[in-house]
Structure 1
Amino acid sequence: MQTILYARVSTADQTIAHQRKQAEAAGFKIDQVVADEGVSGVSTVLSERPQGRRLFDMLRAGDVLVVRWVDRLGRNYADVTETVREFMRRGIVVRTVINGMTFDGATTDPVQMAVRDALIGFMAATAQAQAEATKEAQRAGIEHAKERDDAYLGRKPSYTREQLDDVVARLGRDEPVLSIAKATGISRGTVYRIRDNRAEAEAAIARWTE
């Protein structure tokens, strides 16, 4: 049996090493890391990604697939739910670093199955909703940034694109601000500012990266 971490990074600010560090800090002993870089979880389903395709070939019954959260597998509800169910049908256990969720197809208890399937659907739907909300906020932030004098960038944000995305995802799951600050390494004040003015947070990133 092997434990494989699948990581997906879509921007330069995100790192595979960070996702592995998070997994190991959560107690996972990773045997191998499979990762796709510069790949969108919205437009490219797992089976169409170069390294995502490898997972379907290399994972065997009894193996454990670890992901930071289900949004690493994808941000489309139908695709993510079918992907997780396909892995379970093959006897593969899917586990998440965030929230410590376990999806195992071995259970035959109907109540446990119903709860498991409901959680899969909820998490997949949340991933898609967050992707759509992020896209809209980024659009608003970029437009906001364009309205500012090009010569004035303002203070450089104290967070990266990866940290911003992580904060937004955690806020979407109603995690406490203090917990988010500890998990992401940024101050509580910054988390509050991101929560209260998402468009300006996106604008700040856009002014320094666009």
Structure 2
Amino acid sequence: MSKTVLYARVSTVDQTLDHQKAHAEAAGFAIDEVVADHGVSGVTTTLAERPEGRRLRDMLRKGDTLVVRWVDRLGRNYQDVCDSIREFMRRGVVIRTVINNMTFDGATKDPMQQAVRDALIAFMAATAQAQAEATKEAQRAGIDAARAKEDRYRGRKPSYNRATLATVLDMLGQNAGASAIAKATGLTRQTILRIKDEPVTAEKALAAWGM
């Protein structure tokens, strides 16, 4: 007896399994079983490498229907998504998406219809990968912006460490000149003079940078 299986890949906190199942049922799908991978990347991990992805491939038989929210649940790697869908079709499994209600199967023998179907699969798989790459780039940009903001808040990173600062303060206490201290520590005279004028600020700068 054929069955309808929902495959869900839950990769973030806002992509709940219940939400994907409810969305599918609201679209008219009668789900017999749910298979889900949690916290697994669809970019770096192929469907066959995911624990429940392997189980899905083993359990589906000819005449079964595989339901996914969209092809990005199968993965976000162009080649993997295309290969997975084509393998399921060769085995007689029908793939349906909740979004846009797309249907992919191997029923048609007409070469033109096959070409259109394969082109659509390729387009959707490419879109999934492009969206993943755009999201990753946006995340990197956000991290870089946050780091830049933090650096501005902390000010310029000190050119000295705590041991060097201790040496400077010790030599200043012995009335050594700025030039002599600079030569001994490798710091500039300007840095020595700033430390001399504002030793507390120098300590705070080290603390801000965790040094």
CA shift for structure 1 position 148: 4.2
CA shift for structure 1 position 112: 1.2
Partner SS, residue 4 of structure 1? strand
1:7-26 equivalences under 5 Å are 7-26=8-27
In 2: Cα distance, 1:100 partner to 1:148 partner: 44
Task: Identify the residue that residue 120 of structure 1 maps to in structure 2.
Answer: 121
In 2: Cα distance, 1:112 partner to 1:31 partner: 30
Partner SS, residue 130 of structure 1? helix
Question: CA RMSD, aligned part only?
Answer: 1.6
Percent identical across equivalent pairs? 75
CA shift for structure 1 position 50: 0.4
CA shift for structure 1 position 111: 1.6
In 2: Cα distance, 1:55 partner to 1:99 partner: 23
Moved more, 135-144 or 43-52: 135-144
Task: Identify the residue that residue 55 of structure 2 maps to in structure 1.
Answer: 54
1:33 and 2:34 aligned: yes
Task: Identify the residue that residue 144 of structure 1 maps to in structure 2.
Answer: 145
CA shift for structure 1 position 141: 1.6
CA shift for structure 1 position 127: 0.6
CA shift for structure 1 position 147: 3.9
In 2: Cα distance, 1:26 partner to 1:65 partner: 14
Q: Greater RCO between the two (CA within 8 Å, min separation 6)?
A: 1
In 1: Cα distance, 2:144 partner to 2:27 partner: 38
In 2: Cα distance, 1:130 partner to 1:89 partner: 27
Task: Identify the residue that residue 180 of structure 1 maps to in structure 2.
Answer: none
Partner SS, residue 41 of structure 2? coil
Task: Identify the residue that residue 131 of structure 2 maps to in structure 1.
Answer: 130
Task: Identify the residue that residue 43 of structure 2 maps to in structure 1.
Answer: 42
In 1: Cα distance, 2:147 partner to 2:134 partner: 20
CA shift for structure 1 position 149: 5.9
1:5 and 2:3 aligned: no
Partner SS, residue 126 of structure 1? helix
2:37 counterpart letter in structure 1: D
TM-score by length of 1: 0.69
In 1: Cα distance, 2:64 partner to 2:48 partner: 18
In 2: Cα distance, 1:138 partner to 1:97 partner: 27
In 2: Cα distance, 1:11 partner to 1:146 partner: 23
Partner SS, residue 62 of structure 1? coil
CA shift for structure 1 position 126: 0.5
2:95 counterpart letter in structure 1: V
String of CA shifts for 1:113-150, please: whole Å, max 9, x gaps. 11100000000011111111110011112222334469
String of CA shifts for 1:66-89, please: whole Å, max 9, x gaps. 000001101111111010000000
1:29 counterpart letter in structure 2: A
In 1: Cα distance, 2:33 partner to 2:150 partner: 47
1:49 counterpart letter in structure 2: R
Query: Which structure would you say has the larger Rg?
Result: 2
String of CA shifts for 1:129-188, please: whole Å, max 9, x gaps. 1111110011112222334469xxxxxxxxxxxxxxxxxxxxxxxxxxxxxxxxxxxxxx
Partner SS, residue 76 of structure 2? coil
1:124-203 equivalences under 5 Å are 124-148=125-149
1:130 counterpart letter in structure 2: Q
String of CA shifts for 1:8-34, please: whole Å, max 9, x gaps. 011223211111111111111101000
Partner SS, residue 29 of structure 1? coil
Task: Identify the residue that residue 74 of structure 1 maps to in structure 2.
Answer: 75
In 2: Cα distance, 1:20 partner to 1:113 partner: 30
